[in-house]
Amino acid sequence: MSYSDTSASNESYSRLRADCERCFGLCCTALPFAASADFAIDKAAGQPCSNLQADYRCGVHRDLRKLGFKGCTVYDCFGAGQQISQVTFGGRDWRKQPESSKLMFEVFPAMWQLHELLWYMNEALSRLEAAEIHPELQAAIAETERLISLDADSLLKLDVSSWRAEVNQLLLRASELVRQDELSRMKGSAARRKTYGRGADLIGANLKGADLRAANLRGAYMIAANLSKANLRAADLIGVDFRDADLRGADLSGSLYLSQAQINSAKGDASTRIPPTLIRPAHWS
């Protein structure tokens, strides 16, 4: 697996990681959640979580899982929170300036989606196998950077869904190039593997030790699936639901489009191999 490892790309990834110290608790306020296995209480959009403190820190951060707020531990805003707090709104605190709160909360989902796209595009740009579309990726990244720099009113008017669809075509082309390169390295029956359609139902599937190299698993439901010791190198994992999936000993080091939120929702251990851009979850054994 070949990567273009530059200081510029490392800086981009760093900027696309959540920095709660520079955010006004937007994920704890702007987003709604319902009492479930992931959240202990109901909360409406725009309503601050009862655990949010005056300094915008979580009062029960260390005990979130124990208290029934597992959903909070798997969420990742891709850096959208600090972008809105410090750039879009210039450091204006919505508690001190409540007239800005409604717009700030409304624009958060759009910014989150744009930052997510930047994360995926930067990953595609880092793959040398996709070099032939690097210029297109760079142009799309530049346009997305322009969009995230817009003022709040302009952001709210954006047709983010259309831009996502356009960018997704580039991401898919990059995926095909990377996966084809991996398949070309494989021999015989190893290169003739079962394919999965988008959104495949693999809930609870026993895939222990499975060879899933170069598999297209986009949007697959792998909730509580056994993927221990599975090989997922060069597999396209965009949108895969890994909630409670067993990734102990699995190799995801060369996988495509894996996010922090996905591995946070899964079970892993010290032998699970993950991409260098991600952080090993604290709850993994």
Q: What domains, with CATH codes, occur in the chain?
A: 193-285 (2.160.20.80)
CA 252 to chain centre: 15
pLDDT at 197 (0 to 100)? 76
- Is the predicted pLDDT of residue 25 greater than 50, yes or no? yes
| Residue 52, Cβ density class (10 Å: 0-12 exposed, 13-18 middle, ≥19 buried) | middle
CA 54 to CA 90: how far, in whole Å? 19
pLDDT band at 285 (very low <50, low <70, confident <90, very high): confident
* Max intra-chain CA distance, the chain: 65
Report which DSSP code applies to 17.
Answer: S
pLDDT band at 7 (very low <50, low <70, confident <90, very high): very low
CA distance 172 to 234: 13
pLDDT over 90 at 60, yes or no: yes
Q: Cα-Cα-Cα-Cα dihedral of 269, 210, 219, 233, to 10°?
A: 70
Instruction: Please report the pLDDT score of residue 5 as a whole number.
Output: 52
> With 0-12 CB in 10 A as exposed, 13-18 as middle and 19+ as buried, what is 50?
exposed
DSSP 25: S
For residue 11, what pLDDT is reported?
A: 67
Can you read off the two tokens belonging to residue 98? 């409540």
- Find the Cα–Cα–Cα–Cα dihedral 12, 31, 74, 197, rounded to 10°: -80
Q: Say what the pLDDT of residue 198 is.
A: 82
Q: Which amino acid is at 105?
A: F
Catalogue the E-assigned strands of 49-101: none
Reported as a single tens digit per residue, the pLDDT across 146-178 is 999 999 999 999 999 999 999 999 999 999 999
Query: Would you say 65 and 102 are in contact if contact means Cβ atoms under 8 Å apart?
Result: no
Which letter, b or e, does each residue of 170-191 get, where b requires 16 or more Cβ atoms within 10 Å of its Cβ?
bbebbbbbbbebbeeeeeeeee
What residue type is 40 in one-letter code?
Answer: A
Q: Which residue has the higher pLDDT, 25 or 195?
A: 25
pLDDT of res. 76: 92
pLDDT at 189: 56
Q: How confident is the model at residue 15 (pLDDT cuts 50, 70, 90)?
A: confident
What 3-state class would DSSP assign to 216? Answer: strand
Q: What percent of the chain has pLDDT over 70?
A: 93
Q: What pLDDT is attached to residue 89?
A: 97
**CA angle at 165 for the pair 112 and 79, rounded to the nearest 5°:** 15
Distance CA 220, CA 200 (A): 5
Q: What is the mean pLDDT of the chain?
A: 92
- pTM across the whole model: 0.91
Q: What digits encode the pLDDT tens for the residues 180-222?
A: 999 988 876 555 566 777 889 999 999 999 999 999 999 999 9
Backbone angles phi, psi at 182, to 5 degrees: -65, -45
6 has pLDDT over 50:
no
What are 88-147's pLDDT values in tens digits?
Answer: 999 999 999 999 999 999 999 999 999 999 999 999 999 999 999 999 999 999 999 999
Phi/psi at 188 (5° precision): 55, -135
- pLDDT beyond 60 at 73: yes
Question: Which pLDDT does position 190 carry in this prediction?
Answer: 58
Q: In this structure, are residues 84 and 104 in contact, taking their beta carbons and an 8 Å threshold?
A: yes
In the prediction, which pLDDT does 196 show?
Answer: 79
